[in-house]
Chains A and B, each alone.
Chain A
Amino acid sequence: MKKRELLKIAIIVFIAFFILIPSLVHAEKQLIFDGAEVLSSGEKSMLEDLARKYGAERKTDFIILTVGDPEAGDIEKYMADFYDNHKPGFDRPGGNTVILAVEFYKSEGKNEFYLAGFEKGEKYVDNARADQITDKLIPYLKAKDYVGAFETFIETTYDYMGYRPGVNPESIFFDLWFQVLIAIGIGGAVIGVMMYHSGGRVTVNQGTYMDTNKTRVNQRRDAYIRTTVSKRRKPSNNSGSGRGGGGGGVTRGGSSYSGSRKSF
């Protein structure tokens, strides 16, 4: 009896340990690094909560870096070094992470920002998706609505990571009205064919009356005349990210990432 109870308690403790410990670890984890001090403490904790909530569902850390230090150097390099030094990651240090790094020290229109995905983030926020997300952020950043920009970043990244890798989440195929339209179209086409055939269909074909004894090819010639060759440049692999540049890379620490660079 006693032994069994002890065992029960041991199991509960064991389970609790695994439930509580990671959440404790996560609770301590900082996700917003507001170096440029563009956020109030209230906004910061609000965004922290939002990033934690959505990040947990995608098992990925959503991290925001704001850079106010003019000595920081290139934004992409700064972001990569941050990843190497802090080793963020939802699953393990240096694991699943999506980082949005924004400069706030250059003159208007020159500030750059970089969105990068590591590990699962690299797979689910590939270059094309990163480019789509950064495109969405530009209007907010231009309007100096930084909270709006960061909220959009977290929510959109969360949304996109729900789609299978390689699928364009903005595809028209996912639109309700498009699905309805296609469904109605299929129905209409099937009904059209049914109505067309309702009066009886033609069931003779070219073979029905053919006299095979008399039908033959007397002469056939397939003479080669000439060859023409045209060439075009191979389209670059990182599709869609032509305008914003970027397109991922490898940190000095050796972690590869996807990404997109834009300015505002």
Chain B
Amino acid sequence: MVIHYKCPSCGDDMAFDSESGRLSCASCGREDKIEDFSDEFIKATFSDEDGKEYHCKNCGAVIITNEDTTATSCSFCGAGVVLGDRLSGTLAPVKVLPFQISKDQAREAFRKWCRNGRLTPPGFMSANRIKNITGLYVPFWLYDLDSTADVRAVGTKVRTYTRGDYIYTETKYYDVYRDIDLGYAKVPVDASTKMNDELMDKLEPYNYQDLKKFKTPYLAGYIAEKYNYDDEELFPRVKEKVQPFIDSYIHSTIKGYSSLRYKTKNIHTRMHNSYYVLLPVWMVYYDYDKQEHTFAMNGQTGKVVGKPPISYKKVAAWWGSIAGVSFITLKIIALLLGGSLL
């Protein structure tokens, strides 16, 4: 089931516009409010047909997709198409966070980020070799979690005082117990195999206030994928993700001790709710020094992540100058204390 948005006014292809937040036509300027579109495609159920071919509604060409694609552009005529049957039933996202940064803004933001690269080679900083920039809706699970923590620890308070010729060290031991309820809302976990988890984690945080009820027109003109793992499969990953948050919260409730040793720490995390959402990511493919570098940009905030090439010359220059300044500082302190110049 291919969904294609044709402009009712002029017949050109329509696409989601990040600035207005509406489905817009580049030719005649028509803008349609997405909230008013019907959910018929999402609610409808389609028969499961493996190896099915999709044909572009615009030109009739075969749309090249892989099994995870839910939205793409026709490689032949360029029309943005949404594959409705892959977004319905259990595969229907609950919410979507529409792009708020347009392609041009993304390119500009990426250039700006490159210019700030303190350790990247000068040729890279000019950012004039952007090969491709793709707007991608990445499938995420958002989890609402309820956790309980049952913590037992031994805390010590140490006091030293002098009496006569002796220094006394007094150590008081305390039995520490905490029963804590923790709630976490909308913790995101990337549900696509293709995306690097570490990279996706660094893209956070997204501002969830702009989450919209899912409608297919949001995907028009972008590439979207469906999830590869369901919420149950990714539950261990989200538990692992909140573990440090829980640990640091527990620690923050136990204050005033010189040392703390945990005896038991029973943490139970329950999934309260999970939502399938699509979050916007600009993927930037950049050729530098015969290598392709991939960067990801938060489609809402413009935050860029990805390993840039490192210029060893620049590293050496920074290292040298920081070492030089430190050395001079040390020398001045030494001289003030009476040290000699050499």
Contacts and interface: CB of A to CB of B under 8 A. Distances in A.
Interface of A: 159, 162-164, 167, 169, 173-174, 176, 179-180, 182-184, 186-188, 190-191, 194-195, 198-206, 208-234
B245 A198 contact: no
Contacts of A198: 117-120, 307-308, 310
A187 B320 contact: yes
6 A-B pairs with least C-beta separation: A214-B183, A200-B305, A163-B338, A211-B183, A187-B323, A183-B327
A182 B340 contact: no
Given A173-B334, A217-B179, A218-B180, A200 B303 contact: yes
Contact of A215 (B169, B177, B204, B249): B249
Given A199-B307, A215-B249, A234 B174 contact: no
Given A162-B340, A167-B338, A194 B155 contact: no
Contact of B304 (A163, A186, A200, A214): A200
Interface string B155-168: 10000001001111
B119 A187 contact: no
Contacts of A234: 162, 165-167
Given A195-B119, A203-B303, A225-B175, A232 B322 contact: no
Contact of A206 (B175, B203, B245, B303): B245
B60 interface: no
Contacts of A184: 319, 323
A187 B322 contact: yes
17 contacts: A163-B339, A173-B330, A182-B326, A187-B326, A190-B318, A191-B319, A198-B117, A198-B119, A199-B307, A206-B248, A215-B181, A216-B181, A221-B178, A223-B175, A224-B174, A227-B173, A229-B171
Interface in B300-314: 303-308, 310
A226 B320 CA distance: 54
Contacts of A220: 177-179, 253
B226 to A, nearest CB: 24
Contact of A195 (B146, B173, B315): B315
Given A225-B175, A226-B173, 7 more contacts: A188-B319, A203-B202, A211-B185, A213-B183, A217-B181, A219-B178, A221-B176
Contacts of A174: 334, 337, 339-340
Nearest to B152: A221
Contacts of B324: 183
Contacts, number: 193
B326 A223 contact: no
Given A203-B205, A204-B204, A231-B167, A183 B179 contact: no
B172 A227 contact: yes
Contact of B202 (A167, A186, A202, A232): A202
B44 interface: no
A162 B336 CA distance: 10
Interface in B275-310: 303-308, 310
A189 B254 CA distance: 32
A85 to B, nearest CB: 33
Given A215-B182, A229-B168, A229-B170, A209 B187 contact: yes
Interface string B228-253: 00000000000000101110110011
B332 to A, nearest CB: 11
B118 A194 contact: yes
Contacts of A194: 118-119, 318
A38 B51 CA distance: 109
A234 B166 CA distance: 5
Nearest to B249: A206
A66 B137 CA distance: 92
B186 interface: yes
A210 B146 CA distance: 10
A180 B308 contact: no
B285 to A, nearest CB: 16
Contacts of A231: 166-169
Nearest to A236: B165
B322 A190 contact: yes
Contacts of B186: 209
A181 to B, nearest CB: 10
B186 to A, nearest CB: 6
